[in-house]
Amino acid sequence: MGRAFEFRKARKLKRWGNMAKTFTRLGKQIQIAVAEGGPEPENNSRLRAIIATCKHENMPKDNIERAIKNAMGKDKSSFKTMTYEGYGPFGIAVFVDTLTDNTTRTVADVRSVFNKFSGTLGTMGSLAYLFDHFAQFTFKKKDDIDMDELVLDLIDYGVSDEFDEEYDEDKEETTITIYGDPKSFALIQKYLEEKGLEIVSAEFTYIPNDLKEVTDEQRETIDKMVEKLEEFDDVQNVYTNMK
């Protein structure tokens, strides 16, 4: 999945923002997972996946445990997942994933950035045709793993036979990223865990199906818009179809 790797690599460095914002956003995800499936990771697959991401992002154990404790007893409706979409400058499509306890505040924040960069915020679903929705899993590579066999086993869960393999020099490890049907998230996670594969991140993602060329000057403007959106704590991820 070449376009997936190109897209993921391009947004890797600014995906979460600084460390404090990273921990805040992961804490919100923990709250949702605990409210929906309970505080015990062994009985809550979604929580296990988020904790794996927390560890990979170097979130301290105390922070994780505190987030779980704070989430216990809270109404799962405290936070809502909302996706806002529209066109930024130069006709670039922009998807904004948010997790918020105040949709009025969040939509106002998102709209202010679109307006500042002469963009247009559209209605939900209006740009869905420009992006494909995937369940994305990244796990540490094992020497004895047979990717052909793994993909064949997961074909019924919509997992693509193309995958990304990347070596991280800082962590001195190789990871593999696969993409599957979002509806099969829990089943894909269960399979990987049963195979003894160490998941380092698991999330839902949008990948553009038609990347649009831009000039260097245009790219700089769009990058500034994305950075402004990512400054808001409610924003989880920002996606564009900029090549």
Domains of the chain from N-terminus onward? 2-77 (1.10.10.200)
Q: Average pLDDT of 214-235?
A: 95
CA angle 202, 208, 214 (to 5 degrees): 130
Q: What is the pLDDT of residues 211-223, one digit of tens each?
A: 999 999 999 999 9
Residue 75 has a pLDDT of 60
Burial of 82 (0-12, 13-18, 19+ CB in 10 A): middle
Tokens 């992002």 belong to: 57
Burial of 54 (0-12, 13-18, 19+ CB in 10 A): buried
Q: Average pLDDT of 34-58?
A: 90
Q: Average pLDDT of 120-142?
A: 93
